[in-house]
Amino acid sequence: MLRIGMLTSGGDCQALNAAMRGVFKVVTNNAKEPVEFYGFEDGYKGLIYGKFRLLREEDFTNILTIGGTILGTSRVPFKTIHEPDEKGLDKVAAMKQTYYKLQLNCLVMLGGNGSTKTANLLNQEGLNVVTLPKTIDNDLWGTDMTFGFQSAVDIATRCIDEIHTTASSHGRVFIIEIMGHKVGWLPLNAGIAGGADIILIPEIPYDIKKVIDVIEERDRKGHRFSIIAVAEGAISKEDAALSKKAYKKKLANYEYPSVSYEIADLIQKATGREVRVTVPGHTQRGGAPCPYDRVFASRLGAEAGKMILDGHYGFMVGYRNREMVKVPLEEVAGRLKTIDPTARIIEEAKLLGISFGE
């Protein structure tokens, strides 16, 4: 009997169900022995507290196009994984106990950076683990692409597209705040696809004066509006120069809902222009996966299923140079894939006339 546990951890995104379906189909269609799949509810919490259910074929029927996750998800921060819960339970020991109680051969984890740290820890503790790269931020080390990213780009791009008409009608400056707390892959790609005039990302601290210069130059050229795509983690050059302690203190007393509203206020005061902020928020995580993500997540799931059948554990299924690869978990855990400010895509965006507020 081959027994496999599966969980989805961290923020939800599109194509989680498609990826799980891929794993299930490949294993059940090709295993030479009976197979049981156990789904842990709400991520690592299910593994910690023994909340699971036996998954059957009907659970994976008609879920290819459905967003979210049929198992539920939650965040169990890695930084607290070694801390006992409120009742004194050792979380790591509890996860191992559940794994061995069910006599699992393998645990499949679909998650992002923090979740992969925990997966790597469990692997080091002797559990057989395989992970799939899930995040709309596309910031997992070791893979060129994560599933959920392209669907989120589609949604954020449509938001920018639809802002264009109202911005031009009223002659306003519009800021669209796009998810991306530590990295800017999502706002960068959506900004280019949506024709943003300015893109502000965490990796390139901005100078508000340069941002204002671009807006005023557009005014002089007769353009009625300007579109700014801002990552939720965008940071000014002044704030980037602060120590971590000083920056945290500033945020503790922050008077704006987010950085986009601060930028809007500064632009409005400097130019007298009407500025509006749009925050698509969690819509970027929701809805059906786009066709690319359905295919990509299915491929990742298929590769994970093959790895399980071959007994290859301790890896994330990655995607490099248009090929699926096995990436050791210790190489992935704790490393973010950020944007190099000198990257070709940044250079090409600048050639297109896009400003990064430098």
> In this structure, are 256 and 161 located in the same domain?
yes
- Whether 137 sits among the annotated catalytic residues: the reply is yes
310 within a domain of the structure (yes/no): yes
Q: Which residue range forms the structural domain that includes residue 223?
A: 150-285
> In this structure, are 133 and 98 located in the same domain?
yes
Residue 171 has pLDDT above 90, yes or no: no
pLDDT (tens digit, 9 = 90+) per residue, 88-133? Answer: 999 999 999 999 999 999 999 999 999 999 999 999 999 999 999 9
Q: What is the mean pLDDT of the chain?
A: 96
> In this structure, are 101 and 170 located in the same domain?
no
Residue 248 has pLDDT above 90, yes or no: no
> In this structure, are 6 and 141 located in the same domain?
yes
> In this structure, are 206 and 281 located in the same domain?
yes
Catalytic residue among 137, 139, 154, 293: 137
CA distances from 272 to 175, 216, 225, 356 (A): 15, 11, 13, 22
As a whole number of angstroms, the distance between CA 3 and CA 222 comes to: 66
Provide the number of structural domains found in the chain. 2
Its pTM stands at 0.95
> In this structure, are 260 and 309 located in the same domain?
no
Identify whether the C-beta of residue 257 lies closer than 8 Å to the C-beta of residue 175: no
The residue out of 255, 285, 315 marking a domain boundary is 285
> In this structure, are 144 and 155 located in the same domain?
no
Share of the chain above pLDDT 70, in %: 100
* CATH classification at residue 56: 3.40.50.450
pLDDT (tens digit, 9 = 90+) per residue, 278-326? Answer: 999 999 999 999 999 999 999 999 999 999 999 999 999 999 999 999 9
> In this structure, are 220 and 293 located in the same domain?
no
> In this structure, are 256 and 133 located in the same domain?
no
> In this structure, are 28 and 143 located in the same domain?
yes
- What is the band of 162 on the pLDDT scale with cuts at 50, 70, 90? very high
